[in-house]
């Protein structure tokens, strides 16, 4: 078995306007990096569209219908809030993003891939149950987690998040359900303002807020001392990664100072947890990362680590 790369050209058609940091070139650069010879073993698959049933395990039907009803004209942008907008291609892109995450779960549970990297956009970890925000429309990782429980009977699902921004949406969806686990390292203070260490849900939420300027040593210590032990104690049947690469020192939207190698390191630690608890089953879903060079390099070492195992 190898690693599935799940993506779709429709994700390039989501456009939030000129100069917006969450732009189609983000995905283009990631996919270009994954064309190198070392990535030839990847199983390249087209992300399907998520179904209404899959989406409404997380989002109220009114929210899903409202998002899917927004269909701007070819040259129009519909602004949802100050950061988040939709174009003519956004609804399909959002369906492919959530559907790709679902496909990643199916790939590792059916056994035709040992891990999956879902390279889609828009990202998802800021989308709350009923609120699109922070560049996100649907909560892709959360939809995948609920799918794992509904279709595959996975009793405990963990989402781990190393994006520089706290995944308020994932926390909002998980915080009252002890069968779901969320661990996040993130800059604090920073958008969206959530993610204090005191936010514990029902004992299933673990936040490691990092001060601006924190680098590799602080990041690795947070995972080694708090987040990885908590994940180990939860003993998940499936691990889903919210893989944001905007904690890189080159990223323009925050002030953490991670090196590219840190993303290989955390990926290797999460693989070890997956091998210990869930037969190596691991699904990674692309979140943030806004310096194109740093994003491409960081995603490449992340996927390379998945392939090595």
Cα–Cα distance for residue pair 49/286, rounded to 1 Å:
16
Contact partners, residue 82, CB within 8 Å, separation at least 6: none
Res. 269: pLDDT tops 90 = yes
Across residues 115-126, what is the average pLDDT? 98
Percent of the chain with pLDDT over 70: 100
Domain range annotation of the chain: 3-308
pLDDT of residue 309: 81
pTM for this structure?
Answer: 0.98
pLDDT of residue 154: 98
Cα–Cα distance for residue pair 178/214, rounded to 1 Å:
31
Res. 164: pLDDT tops 80 = yes
Cα–Cα distance for residue pair 245/163, rounded to 1 Å:
6
Which of 126, 166, 277, 302 is the catalytic position? 126
Tokens of 84: 């988040």
H or E segment to which residue 64 belongs: helix 61-68
The third-level CATH classification (topology) of the domain covering 3-308 is: 3.40.800
Ramachandran category for residue 153: left, alpha or beta (phi over 0 → left; psi -120 to 50 → alpha)? left
Across residues 82-94, what is the average pLDDT? 98
List pLDDT tens digits, range 190-222. Answer: 999 999 999 999 999 999 999 999 999 999 999
- Please provide the average confidence, as pLDDT, over all residues in the chain: 98
Closest by CA position to 283, among listed 131, 69, 120, 171: 120
Q: Residue 75, class by beta-carbon neighbours within 10 Å (0-12 exposed, 13-18 middle, 19+ buried)?
A: exposed
78 pLDDT tier (thresholds 50, 70, 90): very high
> Would you call 126 a catalytic residue per the annotation?
yes
Res. 1: pLDDT tops 80 = no
């Amino acid at each position: 078995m190898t690693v599935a790369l799940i993506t779709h050209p429709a994700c390039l058609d989501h456009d939030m306007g000129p100069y917006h940091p969450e732009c189609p070139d983000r995905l283009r650069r990631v996919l270009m990096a994954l064309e190198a010879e070392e990535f030839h073993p990847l199983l390249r698959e087209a992300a399907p569209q998520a179904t209404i049933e899959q989406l409404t395990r997380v989002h109220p039907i009114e929210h899903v219908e409202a998002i899917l009803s927004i269909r701007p004209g070819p040259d129009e942008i519909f602004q949802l809030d100050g950061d988040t907008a939709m174009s003519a291609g956004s609804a399909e892109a959002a369906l492919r993003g959530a559907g790709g995450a679902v496909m990643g779960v199916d790939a590792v549970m059916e056994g035709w891939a040992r891990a999956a990297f879902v390279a889609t956009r828009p990202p998802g970890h800021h989308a709350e149950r009923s609120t699109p925000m922070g560049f996100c429309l649907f909560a892709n990782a959360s939809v995948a987690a609920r799918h794992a429980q509904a279709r595959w009977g996975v009793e405990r699902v963990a989402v781990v998040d190393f994006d520089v921004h706290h995944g308020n949406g994932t926390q909002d969806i998980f915080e009252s359900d002890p069968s779901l686990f969320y661990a996040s390292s993130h800059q604090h203070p920073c958008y969206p303002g959530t993610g204090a260490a005191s936010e514990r849900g029902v004992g299933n939420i673990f936040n490691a807020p990092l001060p601006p300027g924190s680098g590799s040593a602080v990041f690795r210590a947070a995972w080694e001392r708090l987040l990885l032990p908590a994940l180990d104690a939860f003993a998940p049947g499936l691990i889903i990664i919210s893989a944001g690469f905007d904690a890189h020192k080159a990223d323009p939207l925050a002030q953490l100072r991670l090196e590219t190698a840190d993303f290989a390191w955390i990926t290797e630690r999460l693989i070890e947890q997956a091998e210990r608890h869930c037969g190596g089953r691991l699904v990674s879903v692309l979140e943030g990362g806004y310096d194109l060079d740093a994003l491409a390099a960081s995603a490449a070492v992340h996927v390379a680590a998945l392939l090595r195992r």
